[in-house]
């Protein structure tokens, strides 16, 4: 499932291919994935040149000539494939003056939208998890009620973390997922901040995690899943203390932690 490291990897693999290219034709095959009218969106995209490709949290932002912004969110199973043959799950195809980009998404939780700026839902998010400073992180945390795990998943609090990296960060910091966010205390807040930075940077370096079927734009799987300490490892021994990893459900999300290393 694409979170910050996976989206970052997709952007890095796709950006060099896209920069400076012109969109010849865009085709959309899913009314769910595309926000807006397919024919009108395709017409607006025609002959636009790609000026920038960047990541905004888990969003892929493609800046086009004429002041247009194409925003892609991969949802759960979305993926961008460079020069791939469109398969049964291709929801959009962008033919360029050189090469083509296929948006693939079996479950159709992803979204593609075209506008003159970042869509509101992307613009109103919290600071990027890899760009936020330690002091800002601590200040934002101090005012929040509720449990720490759901807060880390809240993109309005911090953008980029998803279920895998929230669990891995909490394990690294030794914090229970149901710990009260506001009552963590300065030492644990610093540990959590450092853990998030460490886990995300290592995951980006590994090309992300491939747990279901995530691959980058060249079809390459990431390798960070072999370094998951708790995510998807319920019942397996904790790599730190050997206690079996526990799986609970927090706000409808599978949550993995070590009951000994992460005390309530």
Under rule CB under 7 A, residue 181 binds DNA: yes
Selecting among 2, 5, 150, 177, the annotated active-site residue is 2
**By CB under 7 A, how many residues form the interface with DNA?**
35
Sketch the per residue contact string, 185 through 224, with DNA: x for CB under 7 A, - otherwise: ----------------------------x-----------
Q: Exactly one of 13, 71, 104, 155 binds DNA (CB under 7 A); which one?
A: 155
2 is catalytic: yes
Under rule CB under 7 A, residue 129 binds DNA: no
Q: Pinpoint the alpha helices (H) of 70-175.
A: 120-123, 134-142, 148-153, 163-173
Under rule CB under 7 A, residue 116 binds DNA: no
Distance separating alpha carbons of residues 73 and 76, to the nearest angstrom: 9
Query: What one-character-per-residue DSSP string does 105-128 give?
Result: -SS---EEEEESS--HHHHT---B
Distance separating alpha carbons of residues 65 and 31, to the nearest angstrom: 25
Q: Exactly one of 82, 91, 130, 150 binds DNA (CB under 7 A); which one?
A: 150
Q: Which is nearer to DNA, 44 or 73 (CB)?
A: 73
The Cβ of residue 105 has, within 10 Å, a number of other Cβ atoms equal to 24
Selecting among 58, 91, 111, 149, the annotated active-site residue is 58
Q: How far is CA 68 from CA 15, 55, 245, in A?
A: 17, 16, 47
CA-wise closest residue to 116 among 64, 154, 158, 165:
64
Under rule CB under 7 A, residue 164 binds DNA: yes
Sketch the per residue contact string, 50 through 89, with DNA: x for CB under 7 A, - otherwise: -------xx--------------x-xx-----------xx
Does residue 99 sit in helix, strand or coil? Answer: coil
227 is catalytic: no
Q: Exactly one of 21, 253, 259, 260 binds DNA (CB under 7 A); which one?
A: 253
Q: Which of the 8 DSSP states describes residue 14?
A: H
CA-wise closest residue to 35 among 88, 92, 95, 80:
92
Query: What is the number of residues in the chain?
Result: 264
* Residues annotated as part of the active site: 2-3, 58, 253
List residues binding DNA (CB under 7 A).
Answer: 1, 3, 32, 57-58, 73, 75-76, 88-89, 106-109, 121, 143-147, 150-151, 153-155, 157, 162-164, 181, 213, 251-254
């Amino acid at each position: 499932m694409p979170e910050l490291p996976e989206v970052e990897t997709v952007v890095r693999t796709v950006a060099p291919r896209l920069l400076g290219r012109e969109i010849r034709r865009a085709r959309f095959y899913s009314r769910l994935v595309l926000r807006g009218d397919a024919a009108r969106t395709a017409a607006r995209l025609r002959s636009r040149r790609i000026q920038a490709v960047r990541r905004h949290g888990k969003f892929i932002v493609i800046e086009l000539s004429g002041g247009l912004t194409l925003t892609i969110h991969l949802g759960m199973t979305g993926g961008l494939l460079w020069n791939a043959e469109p398969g049964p799950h291709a929801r959009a195809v962008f033919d360029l003056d050189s090469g083509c980009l296929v948006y693939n998404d079996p479950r159709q939780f992803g979204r593609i939208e075209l506008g003159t700026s970042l869509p509101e839902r992307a613009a109103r998010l919290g600071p990027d998890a890899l760009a936020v400073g330690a002091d800002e992180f601590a200040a934002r945390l101090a005012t929040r009620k509720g449990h720490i795990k759901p807060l880390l998943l809240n993109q309005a609090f911090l953008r980029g973390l998803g279920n895998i990296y929230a669990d891995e960060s909490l394990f690294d910091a030794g914090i229970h997922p149901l710990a009260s966010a506001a009552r963590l205390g300065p030492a644990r807040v610093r540990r959590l901040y450092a853990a998030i930075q460490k886990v995300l940077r290592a995951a980006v370096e590994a090309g992300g995690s491939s747990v279901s079927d995530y691959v980058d734009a060249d079809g390459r799987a990431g390798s960070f899943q072999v370094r998951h300490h708790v995510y998807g490892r319920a019942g397996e021994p904790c790599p730190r203390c050997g206690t079996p990893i526990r799986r609970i459900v927090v706000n409808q999300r599978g949550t993995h932690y070590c009951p000994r290393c992460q005390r309530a």
